């Protein structure tokens, strides 16, 4: 019993430490002479963001002392974490917003303390970034992923006449959308479908709902859609791989991917679990969302401004007219899968 209590106590301490944000002196030393950078991730429990986080940590090694926070998908938490980090004397903030609309709140805190901010992954509005000369963004051109995914759907559809199961020449699709209001989710949804239409292929949307970037939700939605539409579904379009993998789980339970029962699914991110399914010929393809370079760019910029240097000093990154570094997306299929694998090395 006593042992159990001690264990519980230790567990609670670890948990509360994690909630407060852990200070991680990167590199060998005690981190005293390295610039402190305050980082938030909207939630650690996001597959893709865990790779961005890993890259930030790796690139900070020996260069910066990170204060790393899990905002647990709660903007109020994140606001408190930013206050805490400012009071701890961080020289720069690297912020993955919970709510893309919350940028002005974070900016007003940083502005008061005269601390520069690099936002990443969830793009603040142009107006928000314009309101503070010491704020920047690192991410992607959101619509690019939609266009690439749309092209992949067109190419694979044209190469597989059997996929038009009802033979009407149109794609009956279901779409798993990411978080509503997230620039990536909105643009991917719009441009993937637009790209198909632009190619001259007709589309019919059977279902479109948000799976909040989440694999479990993706599976639940696919379960319901399969129960309702069954084989009338001809294509599954997912805004990210986590939801695509959830849908694939659901499809496997219904007997797909064995014998000649097949359902095309496409995702975005090209995370390692998705690459495995591409290699098996289950997932049609994905779009590499380059976590390694987005993490590197976020850290590079934050470190520069923390040290009072020009934001791009000594880097190869470029800023566009919206003060953003945009890391390119890349189509990933079986043929070039190694490119995606290499990006995780
Ligand atoms: C990724 C998603 C991720 C989201 C988090 C997107 O760019 O594709 O997988 O959940 O960012 O904000
Ligand atoms: Ca059809």
Ligand number nearest CA of 232 is 2
What's the pLDDT tens digit per position in 80-99? 999 999 999 999 999 999 99
Same structural domain, 225 and 242: yes
In this predicted structure, what is the pLDDT of residue 29? 46
pLDDT of res. 273? 98
User: How many structural domains are present in the chain?
Assistant: 2
Q: How many angstroms separate the alpha carbon of residue 291 from the centre of ligand 1? A: 10
Ion ligand 2 neighbours, Cβ < 5 Å: 164, 166, 168, 170, 172
Note whether 261 and 308 are same-domain residues: no
99 Cα: distance to centroid of ligand 1 (angstroms): 13
Q: What is the mean pLDDT of the chain?
A: 93
Same domain membership, residue 201 and residue 284? yes
Looking at 288, 313, 336, the residue that finishes a domain is 288
Confidence band of 35 (pLDDT split at 50, 70, 90)? very high
Structural domain includes residue 116: yes
Inter-residue contact 189 to 177 (CB < 8 Å):
yes
Q: Compute the average pLDDT of residues 153-161.
A: 98
Q: Which residue range(s) make up the domain with 164? A: 143-288
pLDDT for 124 beyond 80? yes
**Residue 55 scores a pLDDT above 50:** yes
d(CA 312, CA 301): 6
Distance CA 145, CA 165 (A): 27
Ligand number, closest to the Cα atom of 246: 1
Tell me the β-bridge partners of 69: 40
The per-residue pLDDT for 22 is 54
Would you say residue 2 lies in a domain?
no
Residues 231-263: pLDDT tens digits? 999 999 999 999 999 999 999 999 999 999 999
Task: Assess contact for 171 and 138: CB atoms under 8 A.
Answer: no
CB 108 within 8 A of CB 295: no
Report whether pLDDT(79) > 50: yes
Question: For the segment 3-29, what is each residue's pLDDT rounded down to a tens digit?
Answer: 544 544 444 444 444 444 555 544 444
- Same domain? 134 vs 147: no
What is the tens place of the pLDDT at every residue in 158-195? 999 999 999 999 999 999 999 999 999 999 999 999 99
Note whether residue 242 is domain-resident. yes
In the prediction, which pLDDT does 20 show? 46
- Same-domain pairing of 130 and 226: no
| 192 shares a domain with 161 | yes
Rounded distance between C-alpha atoms, residue 300 and residue 311, angstroms:
8
- Alpha-carbon distance 201 to 161, whole Å? 13
CA-nearest of 96, 119, 124, 116 to 40 is 96
Residue 138 Cα to ligand 1 midpoint, Å, equals: 13
Domain boundary among 239, 268, 288: 288
Quick one: 186 and 279 in the same domain? Answer: yes
pLDDT digits (tens, 9 = 90+) for 257-280: 999 999 999 999 999 999 999 999
Mutating to test ligand 1, I would choose from 75, 103, 121, 180 the residue with most ligand atoms within 8 A of its C-beta, which is 121
* Residue 284 is assigned to a structural domain of this protein: yes
Q: How many residues does the chain have?
A: 345
144 and 329 Cβ atoms separated by less than 8 Å? yes
Tell me, yes or no, whether 211 and 307 share the same domain.
Answer: no
pLDDT at 15: 46
Residue 25: inside a domain: no
pLDDT digits over 133-148, tens only?
Answer: 999 999 999 999 999 9
What pLDDT is recorded for position 227?
98
Strand partners, 50: none
DSSP string computed for 3-50: HHHHHHHHHHHHHHHHHH-EEEE-SSS-STTSPEEEEEES-TT-HHHH
* Region at 269 (left for phi over 0; alpha for psi -120 to 50; beta for the rest): left
CATH of the domain at 221: 3.40.50.2300
**Could you tell me if 182 and 281 lie in one domain?**
yes
* In-domain check, residue 100: yes
Question: Could you tell me which residues come within 8 angstroms of residue 113 by beta carbon, excluding any fewer than 6 positions away?
Answer: 86
Which atom in ligand 1 lies closest to the alpha carbon of residue 46?
10
Rounded to whole angstroms, the Cα distance separating 117 from 91 reads 9
Same domain membership, residue 298 and residue 259? no
Residue 336 to residues 285, 289, 328, Cα–Cα distance (Å): 10, 15, 16
Q: What is the pLDDT of residue 296?
A: 98
Quick one: 110 and 216 in the same domain? no
What spacing in Å lies between the alpha carbon of 235 and ligand 2's midpoint? 9
Let me know whether 220 and 239 are in one domain.
yes
In a domain, 173, yes or no: yes
Round to whole Å and give the CA distance between 254 and 224. Answer: 12
Residue 4 belongs to some domain of the structure: no
């Amino acid at each position: 019993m006593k042992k159990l209590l001690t264990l519980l106590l230790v567990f609670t301490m670890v948990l509360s430490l994690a909630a407060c944000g852990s200070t991680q002196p990167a590199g060998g030393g005690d981190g005293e002479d390295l610039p402190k950078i305050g980082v938030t991730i909207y939630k650690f429990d996001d597959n893709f963001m865990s790779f961005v986080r890993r890259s930030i940590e790796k690139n900070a090694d020996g260069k910066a002392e990170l204060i790393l926070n899990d905002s647990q998908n709660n903007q109020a938490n994140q606001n408190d974490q930013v206050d805490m980090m400012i009071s701890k004397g961080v020289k720069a903030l690297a912020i993955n917003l919970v709510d893309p609309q919350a940028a002005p709140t974070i900016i007003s805190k940083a502005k008061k303390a005269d601390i520069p901010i690099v936002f990443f992954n969830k793009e603040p509005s142009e107006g928000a970034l314009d309101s503070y000369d010491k704020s920047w963004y690192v991410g992607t051109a959101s619509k690019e992923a939609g266009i690439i995914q749309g092209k992949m759907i067109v190419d694979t559809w044209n190469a597989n006449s059997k996929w038009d199961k009802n033979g009407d020449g149109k794609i009956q699709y279901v779409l798993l959308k990411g978080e509503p209001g997230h620039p990536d989710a909105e643009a991917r949804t719009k441009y993937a479908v637009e790209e198909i239409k632009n190619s001259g292929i007709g589309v019919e949307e059977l279902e479109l709902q948000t799976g909040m970037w989440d694999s479990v939700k993706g599976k639940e939605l696919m379960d319901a859609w399969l129960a309702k539409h069954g084989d009338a579904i001809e294509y599954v379009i997912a805004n990210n791989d986590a939801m695509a993998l959830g849908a694939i789980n659901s499809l496997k339970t219904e007997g797909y991917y064995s014998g000649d029962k097949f359902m095309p699914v496409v995702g975005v991110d090209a995370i390692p679990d998705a690459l495995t399914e591409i290699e098996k010929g289950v997932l049609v393809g994905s779009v590499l969302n380059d976590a390694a370079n987005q993490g590197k760019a976020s850290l590079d910029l934050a470190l520069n401004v923390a040290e009072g240097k020009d934001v791009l000093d000594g880097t190869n990154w470029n800023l566009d007219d919206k003060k953003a570094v945009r890391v390119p997306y890349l189509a990933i299929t079986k043929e070039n899968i190694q490119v995606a694998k290499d990006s995780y090395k």
